Chains A and B, each alone.
Chain A
Amino acid sequence: NAGVTQTPKFRILKIGQSMTLQCTQDMNHNYMYWYRQDPGMGLKLIYYSVGAGITDKGEVPNGYNVSRSTTEDFPLRLELAAPSQTSVYFCASSSQDRGNTIYFGEGSWLTVV
């Protein structure tokens, strides 16, 4: 029962560095999402994808990029990390064929110093 798998779980980045958060799902879901969650602020949508080759911006896309080359994978790229990107990031997936519910990964805790 892998579901949505994210790596790494924890990472410390220096200002200006770049990194990629990996996300893969084995449920054959067509929709995938990246959220960030800051204390007391709820989940904010960064980017989403409705299928391989199709991505779109969410509420807070600045400083991030995504790609979706396969149904399973949806990596999130952080370019030129800034302290404001210190957060916990959640990858999620959903499918209309699965009752319109969304399933989350375990999260990636990122600190930019």
Chain B
Amino acid sequence: QKEVEQDPGPLSVPEGAIVSLNCTYSNSAFQYFMWYRQYSRKGPELLMYTYSSGNKEDGRFTAQVDKSSKYISLFIRDSQPSDSATYLCAMTDNYGQNFVFGPGTRLSVLP
């Protein structure tokens, strides 16, 4: 079993749709959860950061963590063509030394 699995995509949605991106993980020691957005020919950019279980909202983006199910999600409301990118989930434990990344989901938002 891989340490982190992510919905592979690619995912194409019309502009204005609600997008759900998901990752599952196996290591119960993970406490810090991140979502990165990566545009073509660019480095991953930190989008959302959550500690432990719960929800966090930032504008059109909502990150959810369910540690009991070892499942994290990123929701994008009112998706825009500018949201077209690859989204990576990432996580680490309390030591914050080793990070584990999902393989990424490529999202295309069509105008």
Asked if B44 and A104 sit within 8 Å, CB to CB, the answer is yes
Cβ distance A43 to chain B, nearest Cβ, rounded Å: 5
Q: Which of A1-35 contact B (CB under 8 A)?
A: 4, 31, 33
Number of B residues, CB within 8 Å of A: 25
Q: Identify whether the interface residues of A are mostly helix, strand, loop, or mixed.
A: strand
Number of A-B contacts (CB under 8 A): 55
Nearest residue (CB) in A for B94 is A100
**A75 within 8 Å of B by Cβ?**
no
**B90 within 8 Å of A by Cβ?**
yes
Asked if A102 and B43 sit within 8 Å, CB to CB, the answer is no
Cβ distance B8 to chain A, nearest Cβ, rounded Å: 9
**B111 within 8 Å of A by Cβ?**
no
Contacts of A4 in B (CB 8 A): 43
Asked if A50 and B103 sit within 8 Å, CB to CB, the answer is no
Asked if B90 and A106 sit within 8 Å, CB to CB, the answer is no
Cβ distance B108 to chain A, nearest Cβ, rounded Å: 16
- Interchain CA distance A104-B37 in the complex, whole Å: 11
Asked if B44 and A31 sit within 8 Å, CB to CB, the answer is no
Asked if A41 and B41 sit within 8 Å, CB to CB, the answer is no
Cβ distance B93 to chain A, nearest Cβ, rounded Å: 8
Asked if B49 and A99 sit within 8 Å, CB to CB, the answer is yes
- Interchain CA distance A10-B15 in the complex, whole Å: 34
A40-B103, A42-B101, A94-B96 in contact; A99/B32 too (CB < 8 A)? yes
- Interchain CA distance A42-B61 in the complex, whole Å: 23
- Interchain CA distance A61-B90 in the complex, whole Å: 21
- Interchain CA distance A98-B32 in the complex, whole Å: 12
Asked if B34 and A50 sit within 8 Å, CB to CB, the answer is no
Q: Which of A87-113 contact B (CB under 8 A)?
A: 90, 94-96, 99-107, 109
A-B contact pairs, 24 of them (CB 8 A): A4-B43, A31-B96, A31-B97, A40-B103, A41-B103, A42-B88, A42-B101, A43-B88, A48-B97, A90-B44, A94-B99, A96-B95, A100-B31, A100-B32, A101-B34, A102-B34, A102-B46, A102-B99, A103-B46, A104-B43, A104-B44, A104-B45, A107-B43, A109-B41
Contact surface of A with B, Cβ cutoff 8 Å: 4, 31, 33, 40-43, 48, 50, 90, 94-96, 99-107, 109
